[in-house]
């Protein structure tokens, strides 16, 4: 049995005081994929810890400074050919962060973000995530249900494992 080549990434569930979540719009339509709304973050570089990656990614993508440690709340593994180009799948490590609402503007230029398929940012109220029935997807797929549980129960003592189809 061969070991899967998985892309590990760190992501931040950035919530404001109204429990709206900051999401990045990833447009994969040029590659034949969907538009996906996902938490800011990205791939962990060799020798980088999850939180070091998250600090770098938040600065680059949305201009948010991460100070101190954050609770790790979810781990989401998807092993599926084509899910992450060059990999057999992805493992996303999610951290919970509170911040005052701000206009996302990171260190990367618009062209650099577009090269990573990032085409926008938005604060999504939880009710809108839960009721959304448009063509775009969320990552994880059942983001609204998972966020509702997280807000209701608080951060778990150990990161919650999300299923492949979550």
- pLDDT recorded at residue 1: 46
- At which residue do the structure tokens 């209701």 appear? 152
Q: What is the pLDDT of residues 124-143, one digit of tens each?
A: 999 999 999 999 999 999 99
- pLDDT recorded at residue 160: 96
**Percentage of the chain modeled with pLDDT above 90:** 81
Distance of alpha carbon 121 from alpha carbon 151, whole angstroms: 22
Distance of alpha carbon 92 from alpha carbon 6, whole angstroms: 10
- pLDDT recorded at residue 85: 65
Model confidence, pTM: 0.93
- pLDDT recorded at residue 3: 64
Q: What is the pLDDT of residues 24-73, one digit of tens each?
A: 999 999 888 899 999 999 999 999 999 999 999 999 999 999 988 999 99
Q: What is the pLDDT of residues 97-120, one digit of tens each?
A: 999 999 999 999 999 999 999 999
DSSP state at residue 88: S
Run of H or E including 153 = helix 143-153
Name the burial class of residue 1, with classes exposed (0-12), middle (13-18) and buried (19+) by CB atoms within 10 angstroms of its CB. exposed
Residue 8 has pLDDT above 50, yes or no: yes
Calculate mean pLDDT across residues 72-77: 96
Quote the mean pLDDT of the chain. 92
Strand partners, 75: 93, 161
């Amino acid at each position: 049995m061969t070991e899967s080549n998985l892309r590990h990434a760190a992501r931040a569930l950035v919530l404001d005081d109204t429990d709206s979540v900051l999401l990045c719009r990833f447009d994969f339509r040029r590659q034949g994929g969907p538009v996906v709304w996902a938490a800011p973050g990205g791939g962990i570089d060799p020798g980088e810890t999850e939180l070091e990656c998250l600090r770098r990614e938040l600065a680059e993508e949305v201009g948010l400074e991460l100070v101190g440690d954050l609770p790790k709340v979810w781990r989401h593994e998807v092993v599926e050919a084509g899910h992450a180009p060059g990999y057999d799948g992805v493992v996303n490590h999610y951290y919970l962060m509170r911040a005052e609402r701000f206009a996302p503007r990171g260190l990367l230029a618009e062209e650099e973000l577009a090269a990573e398929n990032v085409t926008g940012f938005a604060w999504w109220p939880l009710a809108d995530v839960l009721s959304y029935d448009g063509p775009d997807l969320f990552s994880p797929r059942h983001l609204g249900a998972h966020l509702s549980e997280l807000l209701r129960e608080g951060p778990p003592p150990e990161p919650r494992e999300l299923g492949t189809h979550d």
